[in-house]
Structure 1
Amino acid sequence: MTEREKLERGLWYDANNDEELVGARRRACSIAFAFNQTDPADAARCEELLRALIGSMGEGVEVLAPLQVDYGCNVSIGDGSFVNHGAYLMDGAPITIGRHVFIGPNFGAYTAQHPLVARERNQGIERALPITIEDDCWIGGDVKVMPGVTIGRGSVVGAGSVVTKDVPEGVVAMGAPAKVVRPITDADRVL
């Protein structure tokens, strides 16, 4: 089994000594660099670079530079979503961002896990678990999402939170680690 096949199955794999994976990360790094250096007024070129970098991107998506990814091809962003400055999408496993998701600045989505035992960690192995942010979520600034987490439809995650476990739909969660503080109700309407 190749290291990519292990990665795709959520198994422990060697990300650092496999030519295919290293090459894929270099390619993504180069495209992200070009995107990050492009004048934002050149919207056509920015979109061209994003579409070359991101695995699947819907219509009306806006991503602000700088953006960093590991592979890019494992990221999907749904229609009408917005990703603010400074996002790092560590996409060893799929990162799925639904439709109409608002993501604040300095967002981190980290799919990689490393062994807890130093001797094993020092061998350079890791595994990656998917992250899903369902439709209509709002993720505040400086939020970090850990491997294997799903954030349910319509939920809000408060700024500075570290999301270590799934968040159900339709709630406000915050903290480090993030915990559900309350449901979102009709009392939250502003219009």
Structure 2
Amino acid sequence: MVRIHSGVSAAMHYRDNPGFEPFGMTDTNPKGPITCGGPVDRHAMVIRCLTDTSVGSVRRQEQCGGGNMDNVARRAQELPYHYDDPAIMGDQLAFQEELYRFNQLHPTDVHGKDKQLRRMFASIGDECHVEVPAHSNWGFHHVRMGRGVYCNVNFTCVDDADITIGDWCLFGPNVVIATAGHPILPILREHHYTYAIPVSIGSNVWVGANVSILPGVTIGDNVVIGAGSVVDRDIPSDVVAVGVPCKVLRPIGQKDRDYYLRERRLDVHE
């Protein structure tokens, strides 16, 4: 991978390597990190965008296809935006204070934890249990959780966009649900660009230990995600999926009605 240290060197690299396409800089990828829209001279545009040091970052984003959109609007449209814009940060620190209070509670203080969870989450159903410590960029303020969900220790939500979790889900230790990422193009990371795309998880999903679920993923109902998986694409309902990257291993079927682990036969069925 070419390391680009400045806008000038990025433009020079692009000029000298006509085949080089910064991620998103295509007419056919309107949802890429930089949307130029329509037939354009991309070589001229990228050089103009990356070498214009006489204006601020907001002006650069406008020249690169952002129009007059501010960072709040760009985030809402799942476009790259500046994460350190005060208009974006809002009450983030206050939400993190609530999360800090939650993590100071005694692990057996079920009533206190339930009360604090209801203060933190966008919405949360009955009979949910989140072990301490838990972690979240926005103190779970952008997380909607159904009924009867259990989250083991170090449950982490990078909730810069919405996260929706259905009923009766189980999350093993060290699960990460990340809605945020950064453009591949190095210069954009130097300029503090990020993007945030919602994640949706259905009902009765079991996510094993040390799983990472990445931006934009949708997981269906009744799914098992194997421990250590990295989920970077949608997973349909009623399957076992595992791996890096996570892929469907098999459907859930008759074998799962007969056995609970390898050759250990079930003696309960409801």
Other structure's SS at 2:91 match: helix
Residue in 2 aligned with 1:134?
202
Cα drift, residue 90 of structure 1: 0.4
The counterpart of 2:163, out of the listed 62, 85, 95, is 95
The answer on whether the counterparts of 2:166 and 2:203 sit within 8 Å (CA) in structure 1 is yes
RMSD value over aligned CA atoms? 1.3
Other structure's SS at 2:191 match: coil
The counterpart of 1:110, out of the listed 178, 184, 209, is 178
Counterpart Cα distance in 1 of 2:230 and 2:81: 25
Residue in 1 aligned with 2:88?
21
**Shift in alpha-carbon separation, 1:27–1:20, aligned structure 2, 3 A:** farther
Counterpart Cα distance in 1 of 2:111 and 2:73: 35
Cα drift, residue 23 of structure 1: 4.0
Structure-2-length-normalised TM-score:
0.68
| Structure 1 residues 119-152: Cα deviation after superposition (integer angstroms, max 9, x where no partner) | 1111101111111110011000000001000111
Residue in 2 aligned with 1:34?
101
Code of the aligned partner of 1:103? F
Residue in 1 aligned with 2:253?
185
Counterpart Cα distance in 2 of 1:2 and 1:50: 32
The answer on whether the counterparts of 1:31 and 1:53 sit within 8 Å (CA) in structure 2 is yes
The counterpart of 2:116, out of the listed 35, 41, 49, is 49
Residue in 1 aligned with 2:231?
163
Number of equivalent positions: 190
Cα drift, residue 47 of structure 1: 1.5
Code of the aligned partner of 1:44? H
Cα drift, residue 2 of structure 1: 4.3
Counterpart Cα distance in 2 of 1:56 and 1:5: 24
Counterpart Cα distance in 2 of 1:2 and 1:36: 34
| Structure 1 residues 30-85: Cα deviation after superposition (integer angstroms, max 9, x where no partner) | 11111111112222221222111111101111111111111222101100111111
Other structure's SS at 1:60 match: coil
Residue in 2 aligned with 1:9?
77
Residue in 1 aligned with 2:137?
70
Cα drift, residue 28 of structure 1: 2.1
Which has the greater radius of gyration?
2
Percent of aligned positions with the same letter in both sequences? Answer: 35
The answer on whether the counterparts of 1:102 and 1:138 sit within 8 Å (CA) in structure 2 is yes
1:148 matched to 2:210 = no
Counterpart Cα distance in 1 of 2:77 and 2:119: 24
Bigger helix fraction:
2
Structure 2 unaligned blocks of 5 or more: 1-68, 258-265
Structure-1-length-normalised TM-score:
0.94
Code of the aligned partner of 1:65? V
Counterpart Cα distance in 1 of 2:88 and 2:104: 24
The answer on whether the counterparts of 1:90 and 1:110 sit within 8 Å (CA) in structure 2 is yes
Other structure's SS at 2:153 match: coil
Code of the aligned partner of 1:141? A
Cα drift, residue 11 of structure 1: 1.8
Bigger strand fraction:
1
